[in-house]
Amino acid sequence: VTQTAGDPTVSRKGDHIDIILGQDVRARVNGWDDVHLVHEALPEVDLDEIDTRTTLLNHDLEAPIMVASMTGGYPGAKAINERLAAAAAAHGFAMGVGSQRAMLKDPSQAPTYEVVREHDVPFIAANIGAPQLIAQGDTKPLETRDILRLIDAIDADALIVHLNYLQEVVQPEGDTRAAGVWHAIEHLVKEAPVPVIAKETGAGLSATTAARLVESGVAAIDVGGLSGTTFAAVERVRAERAGAAAHARLGELFRDWGIATPVALREALTAECEVIATGGLRHGLDVARAVALGAHCTGLASATLAAASQSAQAVEALMDQLVAELRTGMFLSGASTVDELRDRPVVVTGAVREHLLALGHDPTALGHGRRRPGSA
């Protein structure tokens, strides 16, 4: 049954973009400020010779950068996805679309996602929420054929399953059943024709959770850590507007809930899979920091959104700047390739250091980030 644009999933998607563009919904502390590359006064590599190329699940990228899953599913999303995809294609970045639940509910929204395939993006990820893999109230779990439709619609190279229980619990209409999700992911991995990536959405994940996800068969993990956009704050604004005071208070209290992205990254790197670091990355220097800390790829969501809501040129300029900042960070730390950057020393200070120590990591041994799983 085709539903109208009055469908709650469809209008929620538009709310999210407006709130994230218009309000302060970031974590109060950004963990990337605690991560420092060490200056190399003798880089012994020409700036022009620096090579940012890498791979993500065997797809070639021009840089270890992904436009993180954000949108689709409401009329205004088409232009945003189109601009992001055009620029991602031009720069050789990976890209994820936002949750595709809206196009299952309202097939007329499919073009807002499908538009990304009009551009030659080297790696495109489909997206669905883990809560939708199990029954929620009267709503049945998604079936395999639904998931296949989502993958087919954008000819996706991978399927992202997002974990967002912080958001769901603050949302007055949230889906808070969670028992059985691990089995549902395990089942999905078997049925999906493309690799599955498990992704948090701003609260991060631990080494134990990463290990369980790898056991379920996922090919990669996006740690989606705390440092940038926090959906506790986003849903707080929505709850306030809806007059749901108790939920608004939950959103305020849990605004800084989660595992900071640099900590979640080191935790996830203990599992045998490729790891994407998303959450709070503001510029190409944060990308360089994340790679030096061991990330195989990085993801930027809100940092790209303002430009994407303006114009194609604004997105192009932003991505040029990101690459220039990454290259500068590599040059000044004496890394001529992404693999070398992953082996450069990193100094970790402040709260991130304390968290790493408390979790049993050795912050003095950082900068020898793990190579790609299975590589020599």
Ligand X SMILES: Cc1cc2nc3c(=O)[nH]c(=O)nc-3n(C[C@H](O)[C@H](O)[C@H](O)COP(=O)(O)O)c2cc1C
Least distance from ligand X to the Cβ atom of residue 49, Å: 30
C-alpha closest to that of 96 among 133, 127, 61, 131 = 127
x-or-dash string of contact with ligand X, 152-191, rule CB under 6 A? --------x-x-----------------------------
Could you tell me if 105 and 139 are in contact, meaning their C-beta atoms sit under 8 angstroms apart?
Answer: no
Site for ligand X in 86-145 (CB under 6 A): 98-99, 127
Q: Is 280 in the site for ligand X (CB under 6 A)?
A: yes
Contact stretch for ligand X (CB under 6 A) within 168-176, 194-202, 241-249, 318-326: 194-202
DSSP string, 189-247: HHH-SS-EEEEESSS---HHHHHHHHHTT-SEEE---BTSB-HHHHHHHHHHHTT-HHH
Least distance from ligand X to the Cβ atom of residue 229, Å: 3
Least distance from ligand X to the Cβ atom of residue 70, Å: 4
Least distance from ligand X to the Cβ atom of residue 210, Å: 16
Site for ligand X in 12-51 (CB under 6 A): 16-17, 20
In terms of CB distance, is 34 or 344 closer to ligand X? 34
Could you tell me if 38 and 347 are in contact, meaning their C-beta atoms sit under 8 angstroms apart?
Answer: yes
Could you tell me if 188 and 142 are in contact, meaning their C-beta atoms sit under 8 angstroms apart?
Answer: no
**Number of amino acids touching ligand X (CB under 6 A):** 27
Q: Compute the distance between CA of residue 166 and CA of residue 207 in angstroms, rounded to an integer.
A: 18
In terms of CB distance, is 160 or 335 closer to ligand X? 160
Cβ neighbours of residue 256 under 8 Å, at least 6 residues apart?
27, 28, 29, 226, 230
Least distance from ligand X to the Cβ atom of residue 45, Å: 29
Could you tell me if 220 and 210 are in contact, meaning their C-beta atoms sit under 8 angstroms apart?
Answer: no
Beta strand 220-222 pairing with 196-200: parallel
- For ligand X, which residue has the nearest CB? 228
In terms of CB distance, is 52 or 278 closer to ligand X? 278
Q: Is 295 in the site for ligand X (CB under 6 A)?
A: no
Pick one of 174, 202, 204, 334: the residue that binds ligand X (CB under 6 A): 202
Q: Is 309 in the site for ligand X (CB under 6 A)?
A: no
Least distance from ligand X to the Cβ atom of residue 39, Å: 26
Could you tell me if 214 and 274 are in contact, meaning their C-beta atoms sit under 8 angstroms apart?
Answer: no
Contact stretch for ligand X (CB under 6 A) within 175-183, 240-248, 273-281, 329-337: 273-281
Q: Is the dihedral of CA 115, 12, 95, 310 positive or negative?
A: positive
Pick one of 31, 174, 228, 329: the residue that binds ligand X (CB under 6 A): 228
> Which residues pair with residue 56 across a beta bridge?
59
Q: Is 279 in the site for ligand X (CB under 6 A)?
A: yes
Cα 159 to chain centroid distance, Å, stands at 13
Q: Is 262 in the site for ligand X (CB under 6 A)?
A: no
Contact stretch for ligand X (CB under 6 A) within 103-111, 264-272, 296-304, 358-366: 296-304
Beta strand 346-348 pairing with 35-37: antiparallel
Least distance from ligand X to the Cβ atom of residue 365, Å: 27
Least distance from ligand X to the Cβ atom of residue 67, Å: 9
Query: Three-state SS for 255?
Result: coil
CA separation, residue 17 to residues 25, 44, 82, 103, 374 (Å): 11, 44, 15, 17, 39
Instruction: Catalog residues that contact ligand X under the rule CB under 6 A.
Output: 16-17, 20, 68-71, 98-99, 127, 160, 162, 199, 201-202, 224, 228-229, 278-281, 300-303, 305
